[in-house]
Amino acid sequence: MFGVRKEGLSDEQRLIVSTIVELSRKFGEDYWQRLDSEKKYPSEFVAEMGRLGMAGLTIPKEFGGAGYGVKEASLVLEEINSGGGNAQPFHGQYYLSFMVSKFASQHSKEKYLPGLASGKLKMQTFALTEPEAGSESTKIKTSAEKRGDGYVIKGHKVFISRLEHTDLVVLAARTTPYRSAQKKTDGISLFLVELKGVKGFEMHRIETMFNSQTYEVFIDGLEIPRENLIGEEGRGFGYILDVLNPERILLASECIGDARWFVQKSVEYAKSRVVFDKAIGSNQGVQFPIADVYAKLLAAEKVRWAAAEMYDAGADERSVGELANTSKYLASECSWQAANVAMDVYGGAGMAVSNHVERKFRETRLYRVAPVSQNLVLAYIAHSVLGLPRSY
């Protein structure tokens, strides 16, 4: 019942899943708990993923990757989370690999993709959010000014993850200010920033409610060579939109993995904990909430696979968008409900750090807010699918 469901998977897909199952045995819940209490990045886990060829899963074969689509990437992320781990570093790496493989200059592809595929390089971060822009990302103020044969960046970013551990960041900046752009989505450009020895990039860690390695960044005089511009100047928003669908599907997969983990823990505990001379799970007040969230988990899973298969088959962006956004919405509702169910089933034991439930509870709360809030997903469904008037 638990872990990724194998029905309908190809032999290659089953091999991917069993590789991650093995890895989750090696890096068990105590590993993730220790990192959480020490607020550390999962360096050993990420290195092992690289050695197993999982870092380059979504990089085209011509650059040394496995050339897989969003379905295989989803299997990996779901299985990591349903094993009690946290797949966030690979969430970033997988969808950014789609973007760079599709839109970056040939020079950047040849320079970076083979290293990313082998696990020697990491590209786990997209730097978009700014203090004053928030969900309204077209309002970013970070600027990229053309100088000589490159660009000089100045600006302020907030809540940017894993900066001390990634080699490459995809950074969004305005090459045309918001007020001068013809359309608000025009004038945003994306750059590949190498962080090794970087100058003009000052970061301060933001403590968060879970182990996130998140930073506020002040950028002043950061120089970027022209060939590290992704695609065409000013068209970055279109490239962001292009990877939003796979990004939503990947996020849904992490939530489905979390929900599976919570359901599994709840069932095990409900069977084994005896109060009033019987297992607590024999009370319908305990079993119905578990059954209820499990039913919702199956529904979220179906929509997620429909979205992933449509995307991998090359369906148009709008059709995929409906399912990708819906799957993100349903899956993050589901993982949060499952987290609360587990907390209730465990009673006081849910608060004990050694049971891992409180850690996953804190981790899965993020997905209702980031990378996109539930309200903004509902706004997409309202405006773009149902044709209701735009609220912004």
- Using CB under 6 A as the criterion, which residues of the chain lie in contact with ligand FAD when the complex forms? 125-129, 134-135, 159-161, 208, 212, 214, 366, 369-373, 375-376, 379, 391-392
Decide whether 144 or 345 has the Cβ nearer to ligand FAD.
144
Decide whether 32 or 126 has the Cβ nearer to ligand FAD.
126
In whole angstroms, the minimum distance from the beta carbon of 287 to ligand FAD comes to: 33
In whole angstroms, the minimum distance from the beta carbon of 103 to ligand FAD comes to: 18
Decide whether 75 or 222 has the Cβ nearer to ligand FAD.
222
**Residue of minimal Cβ distance to ligand FAD:** 134
In whole angstroms, the minimum distance from the beta carbon of 125 to ligand FAD comes to: 5
Decide whether 273 or 365 has the Cβ nearer to ligand FAD.
365
In whole angstroms, the minimum distance from the beta carbon of 212 to ligand FAD comes to: 4
Decide whether 104 or 377 has the Cβ nearer to ligand FAD.
377
Decide whether 244 or 297 has the Cβ nearer to ligand FAD.
244
Measured CA to CA, the distance from residue 24 to residue 37 in angstroms comes to 19
In whole angstroms, the minimum distance from the beta carbon of 167 to ligand FAD comes to: 15
In whole angstroms, the minimum distance from the beta carbon of 302 to ligand FAD comes to: 26
- Name residue, tokens 């390695």: 213
